[in-house]
Structure 1
Amino acid sequence: MTIIEVCHVPPFSNSSRSTPTEFSLPLNFSDIFNLKFPPVQSIFFYKLGESTTTFFKAVILPKIKHSLSITLFHFLPLAGYLSWPQNSAKPVIIYNTANDGVLLTVAESDEDLDHLYSDIRYASESHPYLAPLSASETKASILSFQITLFPNKGFTISYTLNHAVLDGRSISLFMNSWACICRNLDANVKISPSSLPEELNPSFDRTVIQGSEALEMKYLNYWLELKVPGSDVSPRSLKPIPFPVLADVVRATFQFSREDIKKIGERVHSKSERGNQTKPFSTYVLAYAYTLVCMVKAKGLKNNNKVKFGLTTDCRTRLNPPLSRNYIGNCVTSCDVLVEAEHLLKENGVVYVAKRLNEMIKGLENGVLEIAKEKVPFMDMEPGVRVILVAGSNRFGKYGADFGWGKPMNVEITTIDVGESFSMMESRDESGGVEIGLVLKKHEMEIFDSLFVHGLKMLRSSL
């Protein structure tokens, strides 16, 4: 791969709209929970036969840059940086017009684009196409991007984000806004920023989150007191805690059709009739339950092995008062349950997981902040327990990121190669379908593939 350019993209300057030269934005309780977690990284793959080097440099790249600048105009705090001043009890987002913007790396690769998004391949093959993000003890970038050209094949756009500032819904809104602006750019108008449709207008209002001050300090004190083995960095450092990247693992994508989800739902519901389950299980729960059981079996876990599985749920509509769905920042909480693997290895393992997930979701009705009080980062990492989590959601609309040359062929949540987790998003080609991203050892992936495909085939024939 060859680096063509590394540039700084500032927010679009519009003289007709007054923009503050400097401002700060506080972090909320959910931001602080994620303060030192590793950055989140994702890659969008676009296939485009006419993407010659000349067309890329003359058409694609200028539109990408210009629309990114305009998008930052609408998402101004994301052009700033994270800081923890000595005179501030909490970290803050700072924006200063004179210096701020995002880093954009432009590269070119002669690798096989089709292989990178469609085949089972080593997870490390994605790493060259990821955007770098800077972080020091006193200052951390919020967002960076890399666009990589594969001549005559297509291109990729990747992002790396600071998890203390953005969650999955936030970055999906940003990417869809950027894509909307790019595909609607008038080539003859270079000075007036496009307006965003109402459903994409972001909200940064922190004043609407009420009653979380004690929770913020609890999480901050946790980070301040945390001792990382082998590290002597300051407790106020903004550097993320490094997580080991798994070696020699492969990545693959699996598909649930809408009919597959329906069949799983029928099976789960039929086995739950004697209980109190009257409301249909959600697509998210059904896809999660089926995938988790296949993973546990593929990893060869035994009955007495302990497994902790859980979910991260959006809290925007669950707070009192509720936040806008377009609120930009972290607004999630996690729920999990510790079980012995035997519950997942039985014939009705999918039913068991689906019911436990539903119980967790129902428990959120008792108050998001009350549940969050019970959580502290890393507290639940018990020795000998296999923790399996899910990243993303089938409701974020990742495949809406059409920059004007078609929607992505694939979207990869690359950071699932840290730890044991899988990703979930909506299907590219079918409403109601679900896509699962997975990183496993090669022999585990072969077993998972067989279990996943065979299980769905059996469901289709038996119901």
Structure 2
Amino acid sequence: MATPNSAKILEVSHVAPSTDSPDSAAEFTLPLTFFDAFWFKFAPVERLFFYSLPETKDSFFNSVLPKLKHSLSLTLQYFLPLAGNLTWPEDSPKPIILYIPGDAVSFSVAVSDADFDLLTGNHAFQALASRPLVPVLQVSKTGASIISLQVTVFPNSGFCIGVTAHHAVLDGKSTTMFVKSWAYLCKENPPLLPELTPFYDRTVIKDPFGIDMLYLNMWLGNNTGTSSSDLRNNPILFEFLPFPDVPSDLFRATVELSRFDTDKLWQRVSSSWDRLSFSPKPKLHLSTFVLAFAYMLDCILKATDGDESKRKVYIGFTADFRNRLEPPVPENYFGNCAGIKVNYEEVRENLFNREGDSLTGLVAMISGMVKELGKDIDFKGEAEEYVSKSTSMASIKAYGVGVAGSPRLGVYGTDFGWGRPKKVDIVSIEKSGTISMAESRDGSGGLEVGLTLKKYEMDIFTSLFGKGLGK
């Protein structure tokens, strides 16, 4: 059975960008945009890519590991910022991403005797069991590393690639582009395909209102009279928001929603919505995302009813704005182009005052949020509202339920040469009420959704989830 501390670190090294490219010999800097600044203090995003490979430890170390390291070095010559750091030079008005020749990515190698099949399955297991597979970002008074990697081998079963990424530098799309680029160069010779080659021009993100500083001032506590020098010299400048330790009774599980399941939810919600008597009645946006998020949330709310720590619940999700900006931003843009949409109404209370069943009410709520994501978003107004309300929400100890990942990222297409992943997990959802979403690993067009709950709540959730779909 998978148990905490079941991985032994054998090696911690650093992989630098290949010197085959002259670019790796030159300094490289990127400013933070307002999309980046929003995530400045958020906890890193931690992903695990599991691959089946029945090789011995010695065979893995002699054949697979050198190939992974070499292809990583080749990949980093295209992704120089990942080898650098988030820092704040004296001559800069705000923090920047800085690569200096000689910088490298931390690369750990471990061996585990944990149950590979349990970790890559869907059944609930202790959330702490995944923690030894996750690498850690280095944070100091002067900066923070941007990405950290760990390869863990499970002898005669497979291996896992752990990726920890700084959210102020990478959104899900950029992180996935990097991992897919690494996988491509593990199988093919350079150059990268155009769609995998990062686009670095930050001028495509317009910010005439200084929204970047609005977010940075929020994170850095920049009150009137505080100088840039004082902020730059803050010893906890680059530290992340504190999160409580993962409790031993927290469990992780994955559930699947097939196309048939979402069709059934669509019919159920449509029928319920048609029966409601109020008017005007807006047209619902019944996408797979809306239906899946609403159904998961409905089951979670019912499973946690009575849990005082989850009494006040708020919801939100991130959205990729690359094709929502005018003009659109290239799909291979490197950095954050993901904004957050938050509903500031307390969910349980809001549902209690709605006509109809809870699932339809949640669909209507999330549908309305999605429909607000048009091309004419008031980013300044959204930022000011978030800054003003985030403090009050924190003071009442609100429980937030969000969504990490997306089926559009296609994480199960990440093949390093040993086949598709057996499982992809976002471990960092355990730090909040976030659920994770990805495409079904079997390519059937469905969804798989990850979540973490206390053991007794997970048991209730699992029962509710199955019954609601007639399983």
TM-score normalised by the chain length of structure 1 = 0.90
1:343 CA drift (Å): 5.1
Q: Quick one: structure 1 residues 339 and 378, their matched pair in 2 at CA, closer, same or farther if it must change by over 3 Å?
A: closer
Check conservation: 2:255, 2:449, Cα contact below 8 A: yes
**Equivalent in the alignment of 1:60:** 64
Check conservation: 2:87, 2:96, Cα contact below 8 A: yes
SS of the equivalent of 1:111 reads coil
Deviations 1:327-363 (A, max 9, x none): 1111122122213415557862222112211211221
**Equivalent in the alignment of 2:339:** 333
1:292 CA drift (Å): 0.3
Distance 1:353 1:289 in 2: 5
Moved over 4 A (4+): 17-20, 274-280, 301-305, 342-347
Distance 2:378 2:192 in 1: 31
Q: 2:82 aligns with which of 67, 78, 81?
A: 78
Check conservation: 1:29, 1:213, Cα contact below 8 A: no
Of the structure 1 ranges 217-226 and 57-66, higher mean CA displacement relative to structure 2 is found in 217-226
Q: Quick one: structure 1 residues 18 and 81, their matched pair in 2 at CA, closer, same or farther if it must change by over 3 Å?
A: closer
Check conservation: 2:49, 2:161, Cα contact below 8 A: yes
Check conservation: 2:128, 2:246, Cα contact below 8 A: no
Q: Quick one: structure 1 residues 302 and 73, their matched pair in 2 at CA, closer, same or farther if it must change by over 3 Å?
A: closer
Is the counterpart of residue 352 in structure 1 residue 361 in structure 2? Answer: yes
Q: 1:28 aligns with which of 14, 17, 33?
A: 33
Q: Quick one: structure 1 residues 342 and 92, their matched pair in 2 at CA, closer, same or farther if it must change by over 3 Å?
A: closer
**Equivalent in the alignment of 2:200:** 204
Of the structure 1 ranges 249-258 and 306-315, higher mean CA displacement relative to structure 2 is found in 306-315
- Write the mapping of 1:285-300 to structure 2, written as runs, cut at 5 A: 285-300=290-305
- Write the mapping of 1:151-166 to structure 2, written as runs, cut at 5 A: 151-166=155-170
What amino acid maps onto 1:100 in structure 2?
Answer: D
Deviations 1:228-265 (A, max 9, x none): xxxxx927711212211330201111111111111112
Of the structure 1 ranges 350-359 and 446-455, higher mean CA displacement relative to structure 2 is found in 350-359
**Equivalent in the alignment of 1:115:** 118
Deviations 1:347-399 (A, max 9, x none): 62222112211211221223152433432394343515332122111211111
1:197 CA drift (Å): 1.7
Check conservation: 2:111, 2:154, Cα contact below 8 A: yes
What amino acid maps onto 2:399 in structure 1?
Answer: R
**Equivalent in the alignment of 1:2:** 8
Check conservation: 1:24, 1:94, Cα contact below 8 A: yes
SS of the equivalent of 2:63 reads helix
1:266 CA drift (Å): 1.9
What amino acid maps onto 1:409 in structure 2?
Answer: K
1:164 CA drift (Å): 1.1
Is the counterpart of residue 217 in structure 1 residue 213 in structure 2? Answer: yes
**Equivalent in the alignment of 1:409:** 422
Distance 2:28 2:246 in 1: 40
**Equivalent in the alignment of 1:374:** 385
Number of residues paired by the alignment? 442
**Equivalent in the alignment of 2:228:** none
The percentage of counterpart residues that share the same residue type is 44
Is the counterpart of residue 324 in structure 1 residue 354 in structure 2? Answer: no
Of the structure 1 ranges 71-80 and 237-246, higher mean CA displacement relative to structure 2 is found in 237-246
Q: Quick one: structure 1 residues 70 and 276, their matched pair in 2 at CA, closer, same or farther if it must change by over 3 Å?
A: farther
Is the counterpart of residue 250 in structure 1 residue 251 in structure 2? Answer: yes
Deviations 1:386-440 (A, max 9, x none): 3212211121111111111111111110011112221111111133211111111
Unmatched runs of 5 consecutive residues or more in structure 1:
185-192, 228-232, 459-463
Distance 1:120 1:161 in 2: 25
Distance 1:219 1:57 in 2: 45
**Equivalent in the alignment of 1:188:** none
Check conservation: 2:43, 2:241, Cα contact below 8 A: yes
Distance 1:176 1:234 in 2: 37
**Equivalent in the alignment of 1:237:** 237
Q: 1:362 aligns with which of 371, 378, 381?
A: 371
Is the counterpart of residue 264 in structure 1 residue 265 in structure 2? Answer: yes
1:280 CA drift (Å): 5.3
Check conservation: 1:294, 1:452, Cα contact below 8 A: yes
Check conservation: 1:258, 1:430, Cα contact below 8 A: no
Check conservation: 1:257, 1:430, Cα contact below 8 A: no
SS of the equivalent of 2:203 reads coil
Check conservation: 2:284, 2:364, Cα contact below 8 A: no
Check conservation: 1:296, 1:344, Cα contact below 8 A: no
- Write the mapping of 1:139-150 to structure 2, written as runs, cut at 5 A: 139-150=143-154
Check conservation: 2:184, 2:415, Cα contact below 8 A: yes
Distance 2:17 2:86 in 1: 17
**Equivalent in the alignment of 1:230:** none
SS of the equivalent of 2:12 reads strand
Is the counterpart of residue 106 in structure 1 residue 124 in structure 2? Answer: no
Distance 1:267 1:399 in 2: 30
What amino acid maps onto 1:44 in structure 2?
Answer: F
Distance 1:414 1:19 in 2: 32
- Please tell me the root mean square deviation across aligned C-alpha atoms, in Å: 2.3
TM-score normalised by the chain length of structure 2 = 0.88
SS of the equivalent of 1:180 reads helix
Check conservation: 1:250, 1:445, Cα contact below 8 A: yes
Distance 1:161 1:340 in 2: 30
Check conservation: 1:390, 1:423, Cα contact below 8 A: yes
**Equivalent in the alignment of 2:317:** 311
Distance 2:284 2:346 in 1: 24
- Write the mapping of 1:429-444 to structure 2, written as runs, cut at 5 A: 429-444=442-457
SS of the equivalent of 1:179 reads helix
What amino acid maps onto 1:209 in structure 2?
Answer: I
SS of the equivalent of 1:207 reads helix
Check conservation: 1:105, 1:145, Cα contact below 8 A: yes
SS of the equivalent of 1:12 reads coil
